[in-house]
Amino acid sequence: MALPLAELLREHWPHFQRSHRRHLCAAHYRAVRSVLACRTPMLGGRLHACSSCGKHHFAYHSCNHRSCPQCGALDQQLWTAKQEARLLPVPYFLVTFTIPEPLRALCKAHPSELYDLLLRESAAALQDLAQTKLKGAQLGFTSVLHTWGRQMQHHPHVHCIVPSIALNTQTRHLVRPHGDGFLLHFRPLAQRFRNRLRLALQQRHPAIHQTLNAAQRRAFSTATTWNVQLQPAGNGQSALRYLARYVHQSAFKAKRLLGYDAKGNVRLAWTSSSTGKRAVLHLHPHEFIRRWCLHVLPKAFTRVRHYGFQSSAAKKTRTLLRTLLGASLNEPLPVLPEPEPFACPHCGGELRFQRPLPRLSLARGPPICRSPPI
């Protein structure tokens, strides 16, 4: 049976925050408050009554925080449907930008600045190299920031879904790759990404640049090899659905939290990337909370960004692309998921709305670690 994250936080968060107070920020407290209040009377809701058996049903509101594993399922389906409607009839590639290990501590200390630079400079490296190698052609792609590995360790990287086609807006000419490869090579792409990130950090955030230690400065040197991975993604649908699982959620799914073991450790299910086999990781509750806090993003941070002819302002450019590719001129409407029938779980009768339930007004402060009032 899965262990709810809210239950784990109610039991272990008070002691964790006392022992790790100097490492916590407002975003962590906000995330914990949201998870504890999710689908409880604290956030209000709606009261329904069954037309057949007359039983009352309370539907409490979700917190919609991206660090809550219970929320984001519907938003994920809507985002996937919208992005799949934008796919072009060409092969796609998944481009992954990863930074060296010494720089991960820098991202942990300055998440707002460094995560923004990772997204900006990885996109700029793709566009710069396309301008140089493809004679002024422009790419269009979607970038998604991930900050975790399979065991919830801190591993910031950027995934880009890139169609294997470029458009020269001056001549309205399409540029295609030779054979089944990508338009660009990974080595110059990694070098451009490293150089742009170093210059951007030095120019935009000189105070952070001055705090670099010897290992972090060596990571920016030309002798260090940076990793940029290129993977074929077929028509792009599978890559989109993979990334969509973590667009409105973060770090882990609720079903991966399997409960406690005999020693009181948290059992976390994970899948090995090398063997593909499923395993169970045993973590102390404080270690699990620490790893979860690593992936709480700063408030209002945009982790999904669109560039080039995939941006929202480039609808005319995408229409031109579809014309040149011989596809339909207008973007197809997204196919939205069918809503589940709202019926009584006891008798299957129709549930009728009775009245809204107001949310409880609580004083702001550290999260209240107790069961919500009934």
Residue 274 belongs to some domain of the structure: no
Residue 288 belongs to some domain of the structure: no
Residues 347 and 206 in one domain: no
Residue 263 belongs to some domain of the structure: no
Residues 180 and 35 in one domain: no
Residue 283 belongs to some domain of the structure: no
Residue-level pLDDT at 369: 45
Residues 217 and 94 in one domain: yes
Residue 120 belongs to some domain of the structure: yes
Amino acid at 126: L
Residues 59 and 28 in one domain: yes
Residue-level pLDDT at 224: 76
Residue 290 belongs to some domain of the structure: no
Residue-level pLDDT at 336: 64
CA-based nearest residue to 157, from 99, 201, 101, 108: 99
Residues 241 and 167 in one domain: yes
Which tens digit of pLDDT belongs to each residue from 218-267?
Answer: 999 877 789 899 999 998 888 898 888 888 888 888 899 999 999 999 99
Cα separation, 100 vs 300, in Å, equals 26
Residue-level pLDDT at 222: 78
Residue-level pLDDT at 323: 87
Residues 51 and 135 in one domain: no
Residues 14 and 136 in one domain: no
Residues 315 and 343 in one domain: no
What is the reported pTM? 0.88
Query: DSSP states of 81-146 as a string?
Result: HHHHHT--SS-EEEEEEE--GGGHHHHHHSHHHHHHHHHHHHHHHHHHHHHHHTTS-B-EEEEEEE
Cα separation, 162 vs 324, in Å, equals 18
Residues 234 and 317 in one domain: yes
- The tens place of each residue's pLDDT in the chain, 374 residues long, gives 688 999 999 999 999 999 999 989 999 999 999 999 999 999 999 999 988 888 888 889 999 999 999 888 888 888 988 888 888 889 999 999 999 999 999 999 999 999 999 999 999 999 999 999 988 899 999 999 999 999 999 999 999 999 999 998 888 889 988 888 899 999 999 999 999 999 999 999 999 999 999 999 999 987 778 989 999 999 888 889 888 888 888 888 889 999 999 999 999 999 988 788 899 999 999 999 999 999 999 998 999 999 999 998 888 888 888 888 887 656 666 666 666 667 888 888 888 888 999 988 655 555 544 433 33
Residues 246 and 352 in one domain: no
Residue-level pLDDT at 1: 65
Cα separation, 51 vs 347, in Å, equals 10
- For residue 345 the two structure tokens come to 């779980």
Count of domains forming the chain: 2
**Three-state DSSP state, 62:** coil
Task: Using the Cα atoms of residue 371, residue 66, residue 74 and residue 355 in order, give the sign of their dihedral.
Answer: positive
Residue 149 belongs to some domain of the structure: yes
Residues 160 and 16 in one domain: no
Residues 127 and 224 in one domain: yes
Residue written as tokens 């480039």? 314
Residue 12 domain boundaries = 5-65+339-357
Residue 169 belongs to some domain of the structure: yes
